[in-house]
Chain A
């Protein structure tokens, strides 16, 4: 059974700092991995999707990498801003025809002005 772990559970940084969020998964046979952002009391916003054949994806100040063999993904946020404060969730699709995602518990990021 696929398990997804996110470390750290919470992170507090000063504005402007570059930071890395970590995601690990137990079964390396994944189809794709998706990073989401969740603001308090809100739904999830998709940030980046990395397919199993890809090593990384970039969107603005965000860069996500994927190392299937080691079961790891990182989300790099450059020049963090207070508006980046949210919970960041990692989810993996272990393949098959049903597109089911297994989620980590998330990292709560606080960017202090």
Chain B
């Protein structure tokens, strides 16, 4: 099956710890994205990458970091510098030809 996988589905961490969220796609898409979703708010873009070894900050990149070493993978690290890390994190991908963005199932991160 082609698609986007995110793991884990639920993640719990103590304040002050860094945590890495996984995103993998087998759709052969060039572009990948990380969004954050909070109750009552729309999705907000954290980081995006159009090609391997290149990525750009989105609207709320502070306290987050990413890497894009492989086309299939785009992990997101939530650092201790992120002031309100508890949220639902969504990964997406798209091809440069079709433009439509496809989303993974999400990871719910809770930091206490």
Seen from chain A, the residues whose Cβ lies within 8 Å of a Cβ on chain B are: 4, 31-32, 34, 36, 41-46, 49, 51, 89, 91, 93, 97-106
Q: Are A100 and B45 in contact (CB under 8 A)?
A: yes
Complex Cα distance A103/B90, Å?
Answer: 13
**Dominant SS among interface residues on chain A:** strand
**Dominant SS among interface residues on chain B:** strand
For A42, the chain B residues whose CB sits under 8 A away are 105-106
Name the CB-closest residue of B to A105: B42
For A103, the chain B residues whose CB sits under 8 A away are 42-44
Q: Are A4 and B42 in contact (CB under 8 A)?
A: yes
Q: Are A93 and B42 in contact (CB under 8 A)?
A: no
Complex Cα distance A31/B101, Å?
Answer: 14
Contact A49/B106 with A44-B90, A101-B45, A103-B42 known, Cβ cut-off 8 Å: no
Name the CB-closest residue of B to A44: B103
Q: Are B42 and A89 in contact (CB under 8 A)?
A: yes
A59 to chain B, nearest CB (A): 12
B84 CB-CB contact with A under 8 Å: no
B2 CB-CB contact with A under 8 Å: no
Contact of B42 among A31, A43, A46, A106 (CB under 8 A): A106
Name the CB-closest residue of B to A42: B105
B108 CB-CB contact with A under 8 Å: yes
Name the CB-closest residue of A to B95: A99
B67 CB-CB contact with A under 8 Å: no
B50 CB-CB contact with A under 8 Å: yes
Complex Cα distance A103/B50, Å?
Answer: 20
